[in-house]
Structure formats: structure tokens, C-alpha cells
Amino acid sequence: MKRTLAVLLCAGLLVCPAAAAAADSPQVEAAAAVLMEKETGTVLCEQNAHDKREPASVTKIMTLLLVMEALDEGRMALTDQVTVSAHAASMGGSQVYLKEGEQMSAEELIKAVAVVSGNDAAVALAEHIAGSEEAFVARMNERAAQLGMADTNFVNCTGLPAAGHLTSAYDIALMSRELILNHPDIRQYSTIWMDTIRGGQFQLANTNKLVRYFEGCTGLKTGSTDSALYCLSATAEREGMELIAVVLGSPTSAQRFSAAQALLTYGFANYTLVDVRPDQAIPPVAVSLGVTDTVQPVLANGSRILLEKSQLNQITTSLQLSEDVEAPVEQGQKLGELTVSAGDTRLCTIPLVADQAVARITVPGLFLRLVRNLFLAG
């Protein structure tokens, strides 16, 4: 499995490339796989990451993402009563046996999708949000494009076999990250082990066995068909770091869970997120012709970095700052950078920016400052 670590500034975190290779990443029994760290979006290891494959019900991650966005934007509510159409009720495969004309709350339908992968529940939600499954699928593809999912084309909202319904392990990691990063409430459903709907009359048991057996598991979605084989996007969090393990095309259900577990265990064993701070206090930068004489530099977008655990005791930092700047100074204007190193290897740089704006002093203001300085000198 090829290992990659990208350098990017994203979501308030800086991703630093590792100074030394981590332990060899696991080879897994799957046609394709990806391990991604949530906050930075860094791919820690990959196997045929961009191969276009059938995702089966892992498709429903995008369905759930659009549902959570509709909830956050107030376009639907958990208490909405959704009336089941004939089309939704006709779905085969995994289902909660909805009947045409039956009404169920949006929250129970979300449970049915997240816990038991109900195809009928997914279509009912899609129709409730967009008016038809076709319109909802168009939104799925639009959202995929926005997320940079270049390997993806959705044909339905369920993952049932359909010509041209394809994605990749990398793209699944992207949409999984978007869901868990910006909609953490999905955990209320993706971590359910057993529950009921219809007033306790219909039992739900999670198809993702890692929810019960893997420490820190937070979800996310299973899938399987005869052609896609066994698929999974598994998420787990330990010590403040959440990882996404995507497995496509495993020969058996047990092998997909073993593969995801191996990837997650590797990630937690070898990587960590740490807060980097300067080895010294950051001094203010002089401002000429400003309403204030100095401006304070601060670390841009936070200072958490992803690195290999083997580097923890080797981290050092150094400051490079402008001696002075001329007003006006904009808030967020770059004033220097903090270099992060491990031993003799430079890992990355974090910009240092102005914590506030400094306006240029006016002529009357400059006159008053001169008078005040003369008065104080006297």
C-alpha cells in the first residue's frame, strides 16, 4: 500500500510531511482502500485509491450528508412526517419494509438509513428533500463535484446496482470526512448498536460490527452487493484524532472489517495530532505611520499538526519575523512564519499573521502624537 502525506493548510490545521517513514502500512484484502485523517484530510496510506468501483450502500454517506445539510439549513426537521411513495416502498435489498402511504418521522428514517442501510428509507428522505429521487441524485453529483470527487458518478441514492454508478475509495473518504467533520451529530445515529422504530415494533441492529467491537468507532457505513462485494467506510476516534478507513471490494464481510480495523490500528499506532508552540514568546512587530506603534503576530489558522509519533521528541521551532511594517496593516496580513523541524529535517512552516488591523495615522493624528510626545518629554 502506497503511503502519502500531503502538505496543506486546511480547517485550521497544518499538515506536515513526516521526516521519517512510519512503519510499513498494512496490505489489506480489498480491491481498493484509503486511510485518511479527518481534520487535515491527509491520506496516510492507500491502495488503488482512485480505481472506479461500485460502492454499494456506502453511497448512502452522500445521502446522509445531504440530509444533515438540509437539517442544518432548516429545509427539513427531525420531526417532519414523511409520507412514503410507491417508488420508495418498491426498493429491494436492505429495507425497513415501508408501505406506500405510511408516515414516519425524518429521524426514524435517518436511523433506518444509518443503522440498517434501509434503501426504502433513503429514497423516502431523498423525495422529501428534493421532490424526487432523480432531483436528489442530481444534488448528490453537484455536491460530489464541490468536494472534488472526480472519480464519482451517482445514479441513485441507495447504491443498488446501476450502470455507471461508480466512485473510488478516495472519493468515499472525501465525503465521509465532510460528513463527520461538519456534521458531528451524525454520530447520534452512526454509533447506534441496537434500536427500534415504529414505536418499538421494528428492531434495528447496526450492520457495522466495528461499532461494538472496535475501540473508539464512530461509524460510518457498510455496503455489499454481488458485484461490489463487501465495502465499508469506518471511522474511529482516539486521543482527539479521528480516522477514516475506506475498504472496497473485500471478498467477505469479515475481511472488510478486518481490513478496516488493520488500517485504523495502523493509523492510531503511528500518527498523532499535536499542538505546536514557538520555543519563545512571539515579539510584536513595529508599525510605522500607524495609529499604534506595534502589531502582534499570531499563528495563522491554529497550530495543530499531524506527524508521526516517532518524531514527537524531535520537534523544534524557529521564528522568522519582519522587523517592521508600514501602515495600514490588515488583520491576517503575513508578518513572518514559524518553521517546524524534526531533528535536521524541516517539516513545514506556519504563517504568522497580524492579530488585528492597524490603520494609517492621519495628518492631524500625527500632529497630536508629536505634541503628546513633546509634552511627555518635557
Pairing state of beta strands 324-326 and 285-288?
Answer: parallel
Q: For 244-270, b where at least 16 C-beta lie within 10 A, e where not — what string?
A: bbbbbbbeebebbbbbbbbbbbbbbeb
What cell does 15 get? 499538515
State how far the Cα of 166 lies from the Cα of 51, in Å rounded to an integer: 9
**Annotated catalytic residue within 25, 85, 117, 190:** 117
**Which residue out of 25, 38, 57, 209 is catalytically annotated?**
57
| CB contact at 8 A, 291 and 356 | no
57 is known as an active-site residue: yes
Cα 296 to Cα 218, 276, 292, 299, distances in angstroms: 40, 18, 11, 10
Could you confirm whether 38 is annotated as catalytic?
A: no
Q: How far apart are CA 347 and CA 248, in angstroms?
A: 33
**Cβ atoms of 145 and 46 closer than 8 Å:** no
Q: How many CA atoms lie within 13 A of 110 on its CB side?
A: 28
Catalytic residue at 258? no
Considering 60, 111, 209, 221, which one is annotated as catalytic?
60
How far are the Cα atoms of 6, 53, 133, 176, 339 from residue 216, in angstroms, in the given order? 25, 28, 34, 16, 33
From residue 142, give the alpha-carbon distance in Å to each of 60, 98, 148, 302: 15, 28, 10, 31
Residue where the block lists cell 441507495: 158
* Catalytically active residues, by annotation: 57, 60, 117
